[in-house]
Amino acid sequence: DTEVTQTPKHLVMGMTNKKSLKCEQHMGHRAMYWYKQKAKKPPELMFVYSYEKLSINESVPSRFSPECPNSSLLNLHLHALQPEDSALYLCASSPLRGDEQFFGPGTRLTVL
């Protein structure tokens, strides 16, 4: 298995909802990442996990809460989001932190 999968593909949520994004890889990679990408902009790093421990939080608002239950899974819990949080949320993984990263297909999030 040589890919990163993400679910759901699309998500529409209200500002009072709680939802979660899921990312999975079975390549044995020990680093996983969450990025946010707005239209016509490059990906913007949010969080980095290395060996299931959070190693980078790029000053992301607390309404975004990451979780790494095991070496293959990465979740992003969403609560009380704002319309400006609407974006493509990308998960990536790499063999080790700092190695070349492979992206999943992304979750297109719309906050109403």
Where does this chain bind another protein (CB under 8 A)?
Answer: 41-43, 45, 48, 56, 88, 90, 97-98, 100-106
Judged by beta carbon, residue 17 or residue 37, the one nearer another protein is: 37
- Positive or negative torsion for Cα 40, 45, 47, 52: positive
Least distance (Å) from another protein to the CB of residue 12? 16
Least distance (Å) from another protein to the CB of residue 16? 28
Q: Which residues pair with 19 in a beta bridge?
A: 78
Phi, psi of 83 (to 5 degrees): -55, -30
Note if the bond before 8 is cis, omega within 30 degrees.
Answer: yes
What strands, in cross-sheet order, belong to the sheet with 64-70? Answer: 4-7, 18-25, 73-79, 64-70
Least distance (Å) from another protein to the CB of residue 78? 19
Judged by beta carbon, residue 22 or residue 97, the one nearer another protein is: 97
Judged by beta carbon, residue 2 or residue 16, the one nearer another protein is: 2
